[in-house]
Amino acid sequence: MTTTKASMDKILELAFDHTISPMAILDKNFNFIKVNEAYTKADNREVSEFSGRNHFDLYPSDCISIFEEAIKTKKVYQAFAKPFVYEKNPERGVTYWDWTLVPIIGDTDEVEYLILTLKDVTASERAKIEIENFLELSNDLMCITDCEPSFKRTNPAFMQILGYTKEDLINKKIIDFVHHNDKEKLILAKKEAIATGKLVANLIVKIRCRNGTYKWIEWSCVPEIGLNNFYCIGRDITEHEKNQENLLLMKERFSKAFNASPSLMIIYEFKTGRIIDANKSFLQTTGYKLDEVLGHTSLELKLWPKTKQRELIRSKILKKGHVNNHEIKFYSKSGAIHIGLYSAELLKINNKTYALASINDITEVKKVEKEMAKLDRLNLVGQMAAGIGHEVRNPMTTVRGFLQLISSKKESTKYKNYYDLMIDELDRANSIITEFLSLAKHKPDNLQNNNLNKIIKNIYPLIEAEARRQDKFFSLDLDEIPEALLNENEIRQLVLNLVHNGLEAMSTGGKLTIKTSIDLNEVVLSVSDEGPGIDPEVLEKIGTPFFTTKCNGTGLGLAVCYSIVKRHNAIVNITTSPKGTTFHVRFRNPLVCSSNYERISHIQEG
C-alpha cells in the first residue's frame, strides 16, 4: 500500500506534536513557526506565546552565533549540557540541555527552516556537579580506577593523606603501591568484584606513602563493569590498627571478662577520646554495631546530652587517675536517654594513656524510684486530706458564716473591705482543701456515659471569658467522638485546670486550642498553648504534689489532673517545644468507635 504525501505529512505532524522531546520549527530569521506540547511545558508557557515571536527575544543568549552558523553552513549542529536559566521561572535555577539544530533546505538551495530539538539533562548534570563537590570536599580517600586496576582519578584527600601529587598517581597501577603482604588479598578482591559485580567492603590493605612509610587503609569498592571502572572509598585507620596490635595481648587476657560483663564497657585513647573496643552490653544498650563505634569518640557518637558533664568527668580522671560511680545521662543510637553510674581507670600501654570505662545502667531503677516517690507523696496527701479535710472545713464554714453576718451590720461597713478579704482567703483555703480531697480519691466515682465535647461546650463561656480577660485567643477544634465513661464534674475540673495552666504559660496575644479526636479507638483530649515550652528538668516532675514553678502556686493543680486521669483509666502524654506545649489525655474506655469525623471549629478572639 502506497503512502500519499498528505498521509505522510499527517504522520510527521502527529510525531512532532506527541514526541516527549521538546521540538520547535523556526524560520531562517529564528522566529517560531510551531512548537510541540513538550516544548511549551518545558517553560510553562502557552502555545500562543511562541507563534511569530523571535527565539532570542524570548530566550536571550549568546547562542545566536550558532544559529547563524547553521544557516550559513547548512549543517546540523549539536550541543551537549548547555546551561540555561529561564527568566520566567528563575526558581528552577540553572538547567542543562542537549540540543540539536537541523537546517531544512528549500527549493532555492537555501535554508528556509530550522528544527530545534531539546533534551533536558539537568538531573544528570546536577548529579555530576554534586559528585564533583563530594569528591573535592570528602575527608576520606576516594579514587576511580580501571579494571587493571590503575588510577584514573583521585580526590584531594587521597593525595594529602598519602603525600602524592596527581602526576604521581594517574595511570599508575594500584598494585605497585600496595604492601607485598597484601597484594594477593587485593588481586582476589578485584577478581571477586568483577565476577559478582558486587560491592567489596572492609578491605584493609597497607598503602605506601610518598615518604616510604605505609598506612592502613580500609577500602570499599564497587565495580561498574560496562564502563570498565572501579569506584573506591578508603579511610585511614592506621592509628586504629596500631592500637589494635599494641592491645592484642591485653585483649586476649581479659576479653572474656570484658564481654561477659553486664556493665557497659569501652576502652578509649584518653587524649583523643577515640574508642578502640566496646563490650556486648555497651553495643546492646546503645544500639550501635562494633564497626560503628571503633575509631570514633563519644562526642561523634552523640552519647552525651551535655558536653560539660563529659569535661567534668575527664578533669576528675586527669586529676585522680580514676572516677567512681559518677551519675550521668547518655543517649542510645535511637535517641533514648539512659541514666548510668560512670566509672573509669587510666591505663598505660606502650607509653600511651588509655581509659577503661564502665557504666552501670540504672535507668529502670531511677524510673521505679521516681514513680514510688510520686506514689508516696500522693498517698501522703491522700491520708492528710482524708484525715483532716472535713475537720478543717467545718470550723472554716462557721468562721465564714460569722464574718458574713458581722460584715452585713451597719457598724461594720467601714471594715467591709477587710471582711471581704478574709472571706476570699477562706474561700481560697477551702479550694485548696477541695484539691486535697480530690487527691484522696482512689476509685472512680459516678462514672456515666458522657460525651467529652458536650462537657467542653458547657464550660466554653467560662474559658472564653477568661481568655478575653487576659487578652488572649481561644480556639475549639472538636471532632465527632463517641461517648465514654466520665465523671462530668471531674472532667470539667481537668479541662479548666489545663486551660488555666495554658493561659498562664502564654504572653498577651497567645492562642490556646482545645481539640478532641479519635486515635486508635481512644478518645483524645488535647490542650495546646503557644508558651515557651517546659524545661526537661521540670517535665520530669510534672504531676508531683506540691511541685510548682509559680510564685503563688500550691503545686496541686496538675497533681489533681493526674489523679482524675488515673481514676478514668486514662493516660497523659506531653509534647513540648520552644513554640508551645500540648497535654494529650487519652481515654481508653470509649463505648463506641465513631466512623464519622465531622469537624466543629470555633475560633474566638480573647
Phi, psi of 460 (to 5 degrees): -55, -45
Q: Give the three-state DSSP class for 181.
A: helix
Give the mean pLDDT of 429-448: 65
- For the chain, first and last CA: distance in Å? 83
What is the pLDDT confidence band of residue 382, given thresholds at 50, 70 and 90? low
CA distance 411 to 264: 78
Compute the distance between CA of residue 330 and CA of residue 287 in angstroms, rounded to an integer.
Answer: 12
Residue length, the chain?
606
| Predicted pLDDT of residue 15 | 80
145-149, 365-369, 474-478: which range is least confident on average?
365-369
Closest CA to 467 of 529, 526, 517: 529
pLDDT digits (tens, 9 = 90+) for 444-480: 567 888 899 999 998 888 888 888 989 999 999 999 9
Q: Which residues contact 573 (CB under 8 A, 6 or more apart)?
A: 583, 584, 586
- Within 8 A by CB and 6+ apart from 491, the residues are 450, 452, 455, 564, 568
| Beta carbons of 357 and 268 less than 8 angstroms apart | yes
CA 223/CA 182 separation, integer angstroms: 20
For residue 597, what pLDDT is reported? 36
**E-assigned strand segments in 238-321:** 264-269, 275-278
Residue 352, all three cell numbers: 600511651
Tell me the pLDDT band of 381, cut-offs 50, 70 and 90: low
Asked if pLDDT for residue 605 goes beyond 50, the answer is no
Residue 601 pLDDT more than 60? no
**pLDDT exceeds 70 at position 377:** no
**Distance between CA atoms of 458 and 351, rounded to whole angstroms?**
77
Q: Across residues 299-326, what is the average pLDDT?
A: 88
146 contacts 228 by C-beta, under 8 angstroms: yes
396 close to 430: Cβ distance less than 8 angstroms: yes
What structural domains and CATH numbers belong to the chain? Answer: 18-120 (3.30.450.20), 138-236 (3.30.450.20), 252-359 (3.30.450.20), 366-440 (1.10.287), 448-604 (3.30.565.10)
With beta carbons less than 8 A apart as the criterion, state whether 332 and 305 touch: no
Q: Regarding predicted confidence, which is higher, 378 or 297?
A: 297
Q: In what order do the strands lie in the sheet with 32-35?
A: 32-35, 23-27, 111-120, 94-105, 77-85
The sign one gets for the Cα dihedral 12, 14, 17, 20 is negative
Return d(Cα 560, Cα 433) in angstroms, integer: 12
Task: Grade residue 13 by pLDDT with cuts at 50, 70 and 90.
Answer: confident
**What was the pLDDT predicted at 511?**
93
How high is the pLDDT of residue 602? 35
Q: What percent of the chain has pLDDT over 90?
A: 24
Q: How many CB atoms lie within 10 A of CB 487?
A: 20
Split at pLDDT 50, 70, 90, the class of 367 is confident
- Amino acid letter, residue 260: A
Give dist(CA 460, CA 520) in Å, integer: 27
Contact 323, 308 (CB under 8 A): no
To which residue does cell 457598724 refer? 411
H-run or E-run covering 14: helix 5-18
Note whether 351 and 408 are within 8 A (CB).
no
Q: What's the pLDDT tens digit per position in 100-131? A: 999 999 888 889 999 999 998 988 888 888 87
- Identify residue 596 by its one-letter amino acid code: N
DSSP state of 183: H
Q: Calculate what percentage of the chain has a pLDDT beyond 70.
A: 86
Confidence (pLDDT) at 390: 55
DSSP string, 398-420: HHHHHHHHHHTSGGGGGGHHHHH
Q: CA 485 to CA 592: how far, in whole Å?
A: 11
Residue 171 has pLDDT above 90, yes or no: no
What pLDDT sits at residue 213?
93
Least confident of 229-233, 432-436, 538-542: 432-436
Q: What is the pLDDT of residue 411?
A: 80
